[in-house]
Amino acid sequence: MRTLIKHVLATTEPRDEVAVKGWVRTRRDSKGFSFLEVNDGSCLANLQVVVDAGTPGSDQLAHFTTGASVAIDGRLVPSPAQGQKWELRATKVELVGLADASYPLQKKGHTAEFLRTIAHLRPRSNLFGAMFRLRSRLAFAVHEFFQQRDFVYVHTPIITASDCEGAGEMFRVTTLKGNLEEKPQTDFFGRRTYLTVSGQLEGETFACALSNIYTFGPTFRAENSNTARHAAEFWMIEPEMAFCDLQGDMALGEEFVKAMARYAREHCAEDLALFAKFVDRGLPERLQFVIERPFIRVPYAEAVELLKKSGKPFEFPVDYGLNLQSEHERFLTEEHFKSPVTVYNYPREIKPFYMRLNDDGRTVTAMDVLVPGIGEVIGGSQREERLDQLLENMKSHQLKPEEYWWYVDLRRYGSVPHAGFGLGFERLLMFLTGVANIRDVIPFARTPGNADF
Ligand code: 4AD
Ligand code: MG
């Protein structure tokens, strides 16, 4: 029976008959024996294997090169070497798969840019192994967070006919050939369809039945912004709560971000240490900070005033009624408040139709959570639950209520105040690891001009 290396290394007593399988990271030959460093991806650390000349299978040892896959049986004994508790004294070694000298991941460190060109092999590097183990643990933590709070997980559709955000950034889904606009009613679904930008609208229908729900799935945006924070395909977590207002929404969002930071620190310590060492030295301090400090809440109008008074030479203009750009968001969280910041009550003109209009008639109950190094990690709002006002909003956004009839119905039958938000999973991972490019926190990045692998 094979044992994963993470369990081998966590052993408390010497053991006979340990079997491991993995990939060779390095081999060093000495007179009469060889050292192998083997990694199986179960943890960051390698297992050191000592192979004496004459060990069954060792006639193949010349082929145990970097990248080759191997199976090794042996005895686990305390290691005399520095920095490791155990080593495996091989009793049998077997070459499973060759890797010749063209194997691109050699021992020396590689740049993230180079590793993107070999996205199929980069999970075998220390950095990406750590990233994707962490990603997996955090995905589990997301579910745990919501399940513990009695939220119901809803699978919202990936193919949809409605543009939730109204930004016109949707990928068309079609089986039509030739002119797509000629007869959309003859298309597969009998209408124009797209990849979803958000599960929110469908999520709201379930919140207005099951009270507290969340979605966690892929979303797609045909946004042609080639930045380090935008991907065309990304994963979003969207909770939605019935009988909840903006205050409750902000509280959940802030608690969620804190809980994820805490979880990463408690459950991914070895991998986080790698990021702290090689990617972002300030990482431990930043996590500590987010876990301990309350988030600052500031209305949009006040944030705009702060930005104007800052005297900073921003690239993009700052004025009431304009969107905050990432440089503005980062100024607020990194320089002005030096703390995570929740900006709320944005001008209605720059936000989608579904947000609830405030009594001032000018602003909507939107909120964005901004964190250092990233800017916006969460976008959410209280939803417009009043039928008349929703119809009015749709009109001013040039949307046809009949195309959203089921969404409008929620306001006809037992409408309730409700609120929710979306958290970009990749942005959260960037924040928790210090990795600066979204292409390096998702297994296979989809960005403009790039869908390889
Ligand atoms: O602010 P957004 O557009 O909000 C919504 O989609 C709402 N329907 C959510 C809701 O209220 N249920 O997106 C939410 C979050 C952003 O804060 C950001 O973290 C992430 O999704 N995001 C992206 N992440 C990566 N690449 C992109 N192109 C992203 N666009 C948004
Ligand atoms: Mg947003």
Query: Whose C-alpha lies nearest to ligand 1, atom 23?
Result: 424
Instruction: Give 5's Cβ-side CA count (13 Å radius).
Output: 24
Atom in ligand 1 nearest the alpha carbon of residue 438: 25
Per-residue model confidence (pLDDT) at position 185 = 95
d(Cα 94, Cα 69) in Å, to the nearest integer?
Answer: 9
pLDDT tens per residue, range 16-32: 999 999 999 999 999 99
Per-residue model confidence (pLDDT) at position 371 = 94
Per-residue model confidence (pLDDT) at position 77 = 97
Please list the ranges in the chain whose pLDDT falls under 70: none
Supply φ then ψ for residue 287, to 5 degrees. Answer: -65, -45
- Ligand of minimum distance to the alpha carbon of 430: 1
Task: Name every protein residue with a CB atom under 6 angstroms from any ligand 1 atom.
Answer: 164-165, 198, 200, 221, 223, 230-231, 234, 236, 238, 376-381, 420-424, 426-427, 438
378 C-alpha to ligand 2 centroid (Å): 7
Do 381 and 246 meet the contact criterion of CB atoms below 8 Å apart? Answer: yes
Per-residue model confidence (pLDDT) at position 449 = 94
d(Cα 428, Cα 424) in Å, to the nearest integer?
Answer: 6
d(Cα 348, Cα 345) in Å, to the nearest integer?
Answer: 9
- Ligand of minimum distance to the alpha carbon of 234: 1
230 C-alpha to ligand 1 centroid (Å): 10
Query: Whose C-alpha lies nearest to ligand 1, atom 24?
Result: 424
Do 264 and 275 meet the contact criterion of CB atoms below 8 Å apart? Answer: no
430 C-alpha to ligand 1 centroid (Å): 15
Atom in ligand 1 nearest the alpha carbon of residue 376: 17
Q: List the 172-173 sheet strands across, edge first.
A: 159-160, 193-195, 172-173
d(Cα 351, Cα 232) in Å, to the nearest integer?
Answer: 21
Report the phi/psi class of residue 41: left, alpha or beta, with left for phi > 0 and alpha for psi in -120 to 50. Answer: left
40, 110, 217 from 63: Cα distances, Å: 18, 23, 43
Per-residue model confidence (pLDDT) at position 289 = 87
Query: Whose C-alpha lies nearest to ligand 1, atom 31?
Result: 424
pLDDT tens per residue, range 156-181: 999 999 998 988 899 999 999 999 99
